[in-house]
Amino acid sequence: MTQPVGSAAAARPIVAANWKMNGMRRDGRDLAQGLARLKLAGGELACDIIVCPPVTLLFELRDVLQAAAIALGGQDCHDAEKGAHTGDISARMLVDCGCHHVILGHSERRANHGETSETVARKAATALEAGLNVILCVGESEADRDTGNALDVVGDQLKISLPVQGSTKDIVIAYEPVWAIGTGRIPNAAQIGKMHRHIREIYKATKSGDVNGLRVLYGGSVNAENASDILSIEGVDGALVGGASLSAEKFWGICAHYGE
């Protein structure tokens, strides 16, 4: 039987799709079915695949994804277990819909909803408590990069966003430079490699634990054409993909890097 994502196969690379606020029910079904077909026909990959659709599609897509051993994730959750939080979704609700994962601290949440790293840490603690694996996003702005502050900014974000709970088994970091998201611009290989090494050091210092097995994904304008170059950089353990994940073929083209 295929190992479910987020289980003991903890150190496998991950390719995760963030559909953001895209997809009516029919589009979502078509996209998930297309991806499931490609996965079932494509043979074994040396990575786990996670799809994070809008919350309206989670339950609807659960079975078709599960049948292809593609894991389901949410794009956010609240830091409270339940209660008077109109419009919000709890970690346990995500679990109830079949999710094993949740993206937290995405730069669009930080920018559009004023989420601080302290909030992200609280959300991560609640998500872990509910049994979810956390994909924790960090990344610098273009101004931070231009002024030479990228390492410090990302390091500080990570230190504060990491919850006390959790380990490399259930926390994955996604390095997503804000200026690279949806822009077609990407840092060069040296910049990505340096940041991923820095993230490992900060993780180790903050959690004072074993950093072996920590997966650090890269996110920001990854597509089927540039995937192999990016995913071959030392210290890059997969990708978080936005735009290119809205096409089953394009997303599969990224996952296929981990094929035979």
Q: Catalytic residues, which ones?
A: 106, 176
73 binds ligand PEP (CB under 6 A): no
Q: Tell me which amino acid residue 49 is.
A: I
220 binds ligand PEP (CB under 6 A): yes
214 binds ligand PEP (CB under 6 A): no
Q: Nearest distance from residue 139's CB to ligand PEP, in Å?
A: 9
E-assigned strand segments in 68-192: 71-74, 101-104, 133-138, 171-175
- Cα–Cα distance measured from residue 152 to residue 251, given in angstroms and rounded to the nearest whole number: 32
Of 176, 187, 195, 254, the residue at the interface with ligand PEP (CB under 6 A) is 176
- Cα–Cα distance measured from residue 62 to residue 227, given in angstroms and rounded to the nearest whole number: 26
Q: Nearest distance from residue 123's CB to ligand PEP, in Å?
A: 17
Which residue, 171 or 207, has its beta carbon nearer to ligand PEP? 171
140 binds ligand PEP (CB under 6 A): no
E-assigned strand segments in 62-200: 71-74, 101-104, 133-138, 171-175
Q: Nearest distance from residue 17's CB to ligand PEP, in Å?
A: 9
231 binds ligand PEP (CB under 6 A): no
String of b and e for 190-220 (b: at least 16 CB within 10 Å)? eebbebbebbbebbeeebeeebeebbbbbbb
Name the strand (E) or helix (H) holding 216: strand 216-219
Residue tagged 């050091």 (tokens): 201
Of 30, 59, 167, 182, the residue at the interface with ligand PEP (CB under 6 A) is 182
Which residue, 207 or 215, has its beta carbon nearer to ligand PEP? 215
Q: For ligand PEP, which residue has the nearest CB? A: 242
Contacts with ligand PEP by CB under 6 A lie at 18, 176, 181-182, 219-222, 240-244
